Copies of this chain bind each other. A is one copy, B any other.
Amino acid sequence: MLIVMHHHATAEQIQTVEQAVAALGLQAVPIPGQERTAIGVLGNQGYVDDATIRDLPGVLEVIHVSKPYKLVSRDFHPAATVVQVGAVAIGNGHPAVVMAGPCSIESREQMLAAAQQVKAGGAHMLRGGAFKPRTGPHSFQGLGVEGLQYLREAGDAVGLPVVTEVMRIEQLDIVCRYAHMLQIGARNMQNFDLLKEVGRCRWPVLLKRGLSATIEEFLAAAEYILAEGNSQVILCERGIRTFERATRNTLDLSVIPLVRELSHLPIIVDPSHATGKRSLVPVMAKAALVAGAHGLMIEVHPEPDRALCDGAQSLTGAGFAELMGQLRHLQQALAGC
């Protein structure tokens, strides 16, 4: 931590800050400059709360050097994490994993049809939402436990592990009974109680980036899960909110190589929610792989025009099969690079 003093800070003010640092059990090292004095803080084992210092007279700014995460940091854990979901391995050294299926589970028939299509296309995991967060209360809210049953039945029928969103702690037991991997949605990225609970349950977790979460907050959210002992976490970039409204969100692909520098956790991309437009999904899926994503999450619906949710961004089974062919080709090409 570095404490920057005002140009006109007095010697007493500087001394008071040094005493406040000492009161935290830390060491203060004044760094006098020509324009102003800064005070370095030594001895902290991690992030320090600056509440008792920030407002002392003469303090201009407090700059944090430590990050609010440590367990997820590559700086402290250089080896890459590989997450195992049944027979599927996600992470460095493994081919990109594709999770596909409808946004929401609508019926047994729809789910089975979707499962057969994504299996035929070559997907590695099946996705589908049983509990749906929707902006307004008058939209379809999901089938609930019945949906979980359809999802698992469909996954078993085609031999794919399944991933689905858990929205609240009370759903955790029932979701764990049906799902091979838990998804934490973007709106719940900072639902810290939920994060702690999934941290305790040792199920693989797919953590989606919040709509307006910085990378630092994203990694700090993952830290909540790891801090409870669960290191089987996959990050998922799904677009952030910006001033641009021509796409549903702004897909931030630079986060892929950056997260791979900062953290040992695998990261995948959801181009369907990021763009919100079917025509943009395949090209952004390919760009995500080239950017280093360890996998993709793709919305596929047997009849997108009749989807109860997010039809506009869902591929058809045929569209998905075509994309998978392109992705295979691309990966072979990249392997040779």
Interface residues of A (CB under 8 A from B): 2, 4, 6-8, 20, 29, 31-36, 38, 40, 42-47, 49-56, 60-61, 63, 65-66, 68-70, 75-76, 78, 133-141, 167-170, 187-188, 190-194, 196, 211-212, 214-217, 220-221, 223-224, 227, 240-247, 250-258, 261, 274-275, 277-280, 283-284, 286-292, 304-312, 326, 329-330, 332-334, 336-337
Chain B's closest residue to A68 (CB) is B136
Contact A69 B136 (CB under 8 A): yes
Contact B286 A258 (CB under 8 A): no
Contact A243:B135 (CB < 8 A) given known A35-B45, A254-B275: no
Chain B's closest residue to A228 (CB) is B137
Contact B43 A34 (CB under 8 A): yes
Tell me how far the C-beta of A118 lies from the nearest C-beta in chain B, rounded to whole angstroms: 19
Contact B244 A241 (CB under 8 A): no
Contact B32 A42 (CB under 8 A): yes
A240 to B245, CA, bound (A): 13
Tell me how far the C-beta of A235 lies from the nearest C-beta in chain B, rounded to whole angstroms: 14
Contact partners of A337 in chain B: CB under 8 A = 326, 329-330, 333
A61 to B133, CA, bound (A): 24
Contact partners of A38 in chain B: CB under 8 A = 2, 40, 65
- Which 4 residue pairs spanning A and B have beta carbons closest together? A333-B333, A51-B311, A68-B136, A212-B212
Contact partners of A257 in chain B: CB under 8 A = 279-280, 283-284
Tell me how far the C-beta of A157 lies from the nearest C-beta in chain B, rounded to whole angstroms: 26
A40 to B245, CA, bound (A): 23
Contact B250 A242 (CB under 8 A): yes
Tell me how far the C-beta of A249 lies from the nearest C-beta in chain B, rounded to whole angstroms: 9
Contact B309 A51 (CB under 8 A): yes
Contact A138:B68 (CB < 8 A) given known A35-B46, A44-B33, A193-B168: yes
A252 to B337, CA, bound (A): 25
A45 to B291, CA, bound (A): 41
Contact A133:B190 (CB < 8 A) given known A44-B34, A310-B51: yes
Contact A290 B287 (CB under 8 A): yes
Contact B244 A252 (CB under 8 A): yes
A27 to B219, CA, bound (A): 35
Contact A136:B47 (CB < 8 A) given known A167-B193, A188-B191, A311-B54: yes
Contact A31:B35 (CB < 8 A) given known A212-B241, A329-B336: no
